[in-house]
Structure 1
Amino acid sequence: MQLSQLAPLPSDLPFRIVSKTIGQGAYACIKKACPLQEENPVFAVKFIHKEYASRHGRISPRQLQMEVTVHKHIGDHNNIISFFHTGEDATWRWIAMELAEGGDLFDKIEADEGVGEDIAHVYFSQLISAVSYMHSRGVGHRDIKPENILLSEDGNLKIADFGLATVFEYNGKTKLCTTLCGSPPYIAPEVISCSSRGQTKGKGYRADLADIWSCGVVLFVLLAGNTPWDSPTENSYEFSEYVEKNARTTDELWQKLPPATLSLLRGMLKVDVDSRFSMEDVRRHPWFTRQNKYLAPDGRLRDPINLATSMFESLHIDFTQDPLAGSRNGSTRASSAMEIETGNDFETRLSSTQPEMQVGDMLMDWDGPTSHLAANAISSTQPMDNVSSTQSFLMADRLEDEPSMSQFSPNPSVPLSRTQKAQKFHDIVPARPLTRFFSTWALKLLVPLICEALHRLGVPVPTQPPVSGTDSSAVIRVVTKDGRMCMLQGNIVVECVTEGVLEVEFVKIKGDPLEWRRFFKKVTVLCKDAVYKPEY
């Protein structure tokens, strides 16, 4: 059930809604809108159900107002989601803002591999530019993490979600924060040790220095495809070793980093806040000031097509890997049971200030396989092994332009048809996530296979998934913990996109985009017999 179905949205809005729900969380839904008398520009509107926010999110009307006030106070910057307008009635608070049509940045980065040094430098430079500007306005974000780092249509970075942002400096006066907030792998250690807990008042921390720490972790993730630790506490072996060895850790992830980045990372990730790098220190560092072929003097992308191509071709799934083998992060652990629904009508939910992908009742409007596959496609009710070579050829022809197919090739590449027509970043790297595969298995065979894969990964599943021969779709709801013990929530949507062809899409609702891709890869490899892998 969507929130907008529980209570009607305000009727006197100063804009026109032009889409159904494109994102939804526990107490907020997101829709596209445009001016009343125009078709453009299109922007995002976040509708917050005030009662739900108070009941389920413990977010008071004052906190909602603070989010609006702080976001509005920040002003305009190329790498920050712009605030447009706000309003409310008895039920809803709405916030109109810039639409980040490029989706998650980290959805386009390979888990455990990261991106090349030049690409990492581009997005780190844009991140620092945005955060520096926020700090110049006296605002600390306090929740810098991949989930809140989005892309514009042209591939430039955009910081989003100011629900935890705070004004730490005003009229020349600086205040310390005492609220414990943030995501464990990205949070600064002093946020944990200096925050108030219960009746015990913490001594406080500087929001700007906490942001610098988080930016350092983001840089590490860009380069390594993984976080350096679960949390900056003694409970984390990696962090404890980092502290004990004065940042000269033996961890293999650190060993793989470009040598020029080490002094920058160590400066930003100083546990002692008095010796931690300031923003000025970061901006003067030789690695930060290095020349970059992708970065224009104004801080925007100079060569978005080649950058997008490099990112796209780094996404790869190796079917020879053992997804059950022990990893640095340990195994996926479930926090609650999954649910499964079948039929033609289902909903998916998002928890974000921006659409991460098209979802829910927009399903058949997705710019995906249905626009590429012919209506008279092959028909198959059996696994791919039983499909004739002629049918395989037809399948390959119809999926030739599907971007997600590249990752299953031994040598991932951008389809020639996309390269020839490419003019913008999104022409190479689509906003629609690539966490999907196709199959010619029947639904009643494919869903149990996926559930068995989840079971092997430690995620509880129904013992007898209720899928009948007449169903055309199914949704497996996933609620689990990732390798860092942070919440990971989403849906595995299985739908018939044309006769005999099923699409299996992994739709993230909440959690780290890199962790979600890691989860997708493990399930996909376990289901490799059902995954359509054309010959290249």
Structure 2
Amino acid sequence: MALAPPGSQLAPLPSNLPFRLVSKTIGQGAYASIRKACPLDAPKPIIAIKFINKEHAFRQGRLTSKQLQMEITLHQHLGRHQNIIQCLGSGEDTLWHWIAMELADGGDLFDKIEADEGVGEDIAHFYFTQMINAVGYMHSRGIAHRDLKPENILLSGEGDLKLADFGLAALFKKDGKLRLCNTVCGSPPYIAPEIVSGRRSQRQDILDVGYEANICDVWSCGVVLFVLLVGNTPWDEPTMRSEEYKEYVETAGHTTDELWQTLPPEIISLLRGMLKLDPAARFGLDEVRTHPWFTRKNPYLTSAGRLANPVGMATQMLSSLRIDFSRDPTQSSQRGPSQDENAMDIDSAPRRSRANPENINPLSSTQPETPTADMPFDWERPACLPSHDGVSLSQPAAAHHRTHTQSQRVSGTPFLSQLPPGTQDALSQDPSMTQFTPTPSVPLSLTQVARKFKDVVPSYSLARFISPMDISLLVPLLAEALHKLGVPIPAYSDDQIEDWDTAGEASIRVKMADGRRQGLNGHIVIERVYYDGPMSDVRFVKASGDPLEWRRFFKNVVLCVADVVLRPG
């Protein structure tokens, strides 16, 4: 078996898999990708397979096979819990480790939450309760997660929370004996202060004095609760370089920050307990569970800890997503990043220490690229979107003529009402269209037939839009938007533009720092689709980084190209 470039999607996957792959890539990280699979002799159940490229993991994340095996061992040790992604099996060959897991077919929780807005108190309480249940179960098994953040919180098709990604998990209790952890790990906005401020005299990623990993998980849960409620983190990092954190420390939690002012006293009481600087004084999970706000009644929560009204919750969450076209785009609606050059590392390699100044790379970079042999166009297309089956995308002359005709037919800002009736009917049922209406609402046709959460809010990302413009016109507009937002891209030739339009698909790679100087990586994928004629489907596919930061990025790009975004009306 020939070796392919590390991290390349062309690297041949294991040939002796005990299941059948049934999708292209549905998720991707620094050195891993995820696909759907099913049994060899049956169409169900559908599961998720995480493929980890060994060589790339070692070079990019400094992970050895022993460390990768530890992730698998700890994940399997957790067994079954309704709010934790279950590990179903694993294997390896010379190139890959693979992990078979339960499929979270509801997608990312925080992809469905509006940045800088958050969700209502009942929804926040529901998901916080499920997260505490999951973390409490992990701790009862002696395992701490150590990387609790929105990126690792998924949903089932019924809308229940599923905790994922145990690459940084650690055994903090064995045979009843507690052990301290020394590795510096986690994401700066969610990491506990004792990890960041600990003394490191030998190595930047190892503390001289260990920390209680389970108590650090409580801190992270507190930050996640804050994000659920307001759609933003309380600080960039728990150091005195962050003005918000500095005030929180100096006022003993009685900060004047406007985000805190929006929260009711009961929640602030719980947050202050979970976010105590002194680990010894910080709430444990028992204190969290007995807090009055945690024990409040919740109309969404069943006695078994599951979602009682999935369609109702999904409808409320979908109708809360909104892009305000009256606003101007900003480089980041999040608080500005720390100006200290020794701030934590941008999360371009998730397993590396974020507290190592040598890892800092404050520059943003974006590379537009077409699908080539080195970078195949391998992202899974959402099942509900038009298929290319039976349609040739390589008809240059005809495709150019049809696309320009479509573009010319819609003058000014494109609205559904300007399109043929058949196109209007098809696109009015697209859940992602609701975010572009002045007063978002969910079509009755969606909720009337819905039985599950995912029937209203799809598993795929809602960071997408439809445009009547063809690819050759859209790419320069998107490039201009990225430049305006401070994400530079190199010039491309007329031949590249021709290749994009001929292929009917293009991918602009995005690699940048978000508003908190954390890594934000993915692709802007443009594909020609057909609704009574050719149009362009523009999807923002996140590979790694914070989901809310990715949505902020998506919203700002949309505002920059607002005149070509198809809207209801």
TM-score, normalised to structure 1, is 0.91
Task: Kindly provide the CA deviation profile for residues 71-104 of structure 1, in whole angstroms up to 9, marking residues without a partner as x.
Answer: 1111211000111112222322221111111111
Q: Distance in 2 between matches of 1:464 and 1:92?
A: 35
Q: Please state if 1:123 is matched with 2:127.
A: yes
Task: Decide whether aligned partners of structure 1 residues 325 and 11 sit closer, same or farther in structure 2, where only a CA change above 3 A counts.
Answer: closer
Q: Please state if 1:478 is matched with 2:510.
A: yes
2:197/2:239 contact within 8 Å kept: no
Task: Decide whether aligned partners of structure 1 residues 416 and 371 sit closer, same or farther in structure 2, where only a CA change above 3 A counts.
Answer: farther
Task: Kindly provide the CA deviation profile for residues 41-90 of structure 1, in whole angstroms up to 9, marking residues without a partner as x.
Answer: 22112122222221221001110111111111112110001111122223
Task: Kindly provide the CA deviation profile for residues 334-360 of structure 1, in whole angstroms up to 9, marking residues without a partner as x.
Answer: 734211123698958xxxxxxxxxxx4
Task: Kindly provide the CA deviation profile for residues 271-305 of structure 1, in whole angstroms up to 9, marking residues without a partner as x.
Answer: 01111001000000000000000000010001111
Comparing 92-101 with 247-256, which one deviates more in the overlay?
Answer: 92-101
Question: Which residue of the partner structure matches residue 180 of structure 1?
Answer: 184
Q: Distance in 2 between matches of 1:171 and 1:383?
A: 71
TM-score, normalised to structure 2, is 0.86
Q: Distance in 1 between matches of 2:437 and 2:201?
A: 51
Q: Please state if 1:443 is matched with 2:474.
A: no
1:117/1:258 contact within 8 Å kept: no
1:373/1:398 contact within 8 Å kept: no
Deviation at 1:397, TM superposition (A): 3.1
Q: Percent of aligned positions with the same letter in both sequences? A: 56
Q: Distance in 2 between matches of 1:239 and 1:383?
A: 53
Task: Kindly provide the CA deviation profile for residues 181-233 of structure 1, in whole angstroms up to 9, marking residues without a partner as x.
Answer: 00000000001123645447521110000000000000000000000000000
1:384/1:532 contact within 8 Å kept: no
Say which SS state the counterpart of residue 133 (structure 1) adopts. Answer: helix
Task: Decide whether aligned partners of structure 1 residues 449 and 266 sit closer, same or farther in structure 2, where only a CA change above 3 A counts.
Answer: same
Q: Please state if 1:154 is matched with 2:179.
A: no
Q: Which residue of the other structure, out of 360, 382, 385, is the alignment partner of 2:411?
A: 385
Say which SS state the counterpart of residue 209 (structure 2) adopts. Answer: coil
Task: Kindly provide the CA deviation profile for residues 489-509 of structure 1, in whole angstroms up to 9, marking residues without a partner as x.
Answer: 111111111233111111111
Task: Kindly provide the CA deviation profile for residues 8-50 of structure 1, in whole angstroms up to 9, marking residues without a partner as x.
Answer: 3333333233333333334323222223332222211212222
Task: Decide whether aligned partners of structure 1 residues 259 and 464 sit closer, same or farther in structure 2, where only a CA change above 3 A counts.
Answer: same
Q: Distance in 1 between matches of 2:528 and 2:266?
A: 49
Question: Which residue of the partner structure matches residue 513 of structure 1?
Answer: 547
Matched ranges for 1:48-67 at <5 A: 48-67=52-71
1:257 partner amino acid: L
Q: Distance in 1 between matches of 2:136 and 2:323?
A: 37
CA RMSD after TM alignment: 2.7
Q: Distance in 2 between matches of 1:429 and 1:328?
A: 25
Deviation at 1:3, TM superposition (A): 4.9
Comparing 406-415 with 5-14, which one deviates more in the overlay?
Answer: 5-14
Say which SS state the counterpart of residue 480 (structure 1) adopts. Answer: strand
Q: Which residue of the other structure, out of 274, 278, 285, is the alignment partner of 1:272?
A: 278
Q: Please state if 1:166 is matched with 2:170.
A: yes
Task: Kindly provide the CA deviation profile for residues 118-155 of structure 1, in whole angstroms up to 9, marking residues without a partner as x.
Answer: 00000000000000010111100000000000001111
Matched ranges for 1:206-285 at <5 A: 206-285=212-291
Question: Which residue of the partner structure matches residue 495 of structure 1?
Answer: 527
Matched ranges for 1:3-152 at <5 A: 3=7, 6-152=10-156
1:372/1:402 contact within 8 Å kept: no
Q: Distance in 1 between matches of 2:471 and 2:115?
A: 29
Q: Distance in 1 between matches of 2:362 and 2:534?
A: 33
Q: Please state if 1:367 is matched with 2:397.
A: no
Deviation at 1:370, TM superposition (A): 1.1
Name structure 2 gaps, 5 residues minimum: 339-360, 392-398
1:195/1:205 contact within 8 Å kept: no
1:467 partner amino acid: I
Q: Distance in 2 between matches of 1:474 and 1:44?
A: 26
Q: Distance in 1 between matches of 2:187 and 2:319?
A: 29
Matched ranges for 1:316-327 at <5 A: 316-324=322-330, 327=333
Deviation at 1:450, TM superposition (A): 1.1
Q: Distance in 2 between matches of 1:196 and 1:429?
A: 45
Task: Decide whether aligned partners of structure 1 residues 326 and 481 sit closer, same or farther in structure 2, where only a CA change above 3 A counts.
Answer: closer
Task: Kindly provide the CA deviation profile for residues 158-189 of structure 1, in whole angstroms up to 9, marking residues without a partner as x.
Answer: 00000000000011111111100000000000
2:337/2:516 contact within 8 Å kept: no
Q: Distance in 2 between matches of 1:14 and 1:158?
A: 25
Q: Distance in 1 between matches of 2:282 and 2:409?
A: 57
Question: Which residue of the partner structure matches residue 357 of structure 1?
Answer: none
Task: Decide whether aligned partners of structure 1 residues 389 and 450 sit closer, same or farther in structure 2, where only a CA change above 3 A counts.
Answer: closer
Q: Which residue of the other structure, out of 427, 431, 435, is the alignment partner of 1:407?
A: 435
Task: Decide whether aligned partners of structure 1 residues 339 and 13 sit closer, same or farther in structure 2, where only a CA change above 3 A counts.
Answer: same
Q: Distance in 1 between matches of 2:389 and 2:318?
A: 22
Q: Which residue of the other structure, out of 272, 281, 300, is the alignment partner of 1:294?
A: 300
Task: Kindly provide the CA deviation profile for residues 442-499 of structure 1, in whole angstroms up to 9, marking residues without a partner as x.
Answer: 3222211111111111100223463125452221111111111100011111111123
Say which SS state the counterpart of residue 182 (structure 2) adopts. Answer: coil
Q: Distance in 2 between matches of 1:345 and 1:71?
A: 35
Q: Which residue of the other structure, out of 444, 447, 467, is the alignment partner of 2:497?
A: 467
Say which SS state the counterpart of residue 308 (structure 1) adopts. Answer: helix
Q: Please state if 1:525 is matched with 2:559.
A: yes
Question: Which residue of the partner structure matches residue 504 of structure 1?
Answer: 538
Say which SS state the counterpart of residue 254 (structure 1) adopts. Answer: helix
1:85/1:97 contact within 8 Å kept: yes
| Length, aligned pairs only | 523
Task: Decide whether aligned partners of structure 1 residues 423 and 445 sit closer, same or farther in structure 2, where only a CA change above 3 A counts.
Answer: same
Q: Distance in 1 between matches of 2:485 and 2:34?
A: 32
Q: Please state if 1:423 is matched with 2:440.
A: no
1:331/1:457 contact within 8 Å kept: no
Task: Decide whether aligned partners of structure 1 residues 492 and 4 sit closer, same or farther in structure 2, where only a CA change above 3 A counts.
Answer: closer
Q: Distance in 1 between matches of 2:10 and 2:474?
A: 34
Deviation at 1:257, TM superposition (A): 1.4
Q: Distance in 2 between matches of 1:507 and 1:437?
A: 12
Q: Distance in 1 between matches of 2:57 and 2:184?
A: 19
Q: Distance in 1 between matches of 2:427 and 2:207?
A: 59
Question: Which residue of the partner structure matches residue 338 of structure 1?
Answer: 366
Task: Decide whether aligned partners of structure 1 residues 263 and 322 sit closer, same or farther in structure 2, where only a CA change above 3 A counts.
Answer: same
Say which SS state the counterpart of residue 211 (structure 1) adopts. Answer: helix
Task: Decide whether aligned partners of structure 1 residues 421 and 326 sit closer, same or farther in structure 2, where only a CA change above 3 A counts.
Answer: closer
Task: Decide whether aligned partners of structure 1 residues 454 and 417 sit closer, same or farther in structure 2, where only a CA change above 3 A counts.
Answer: same
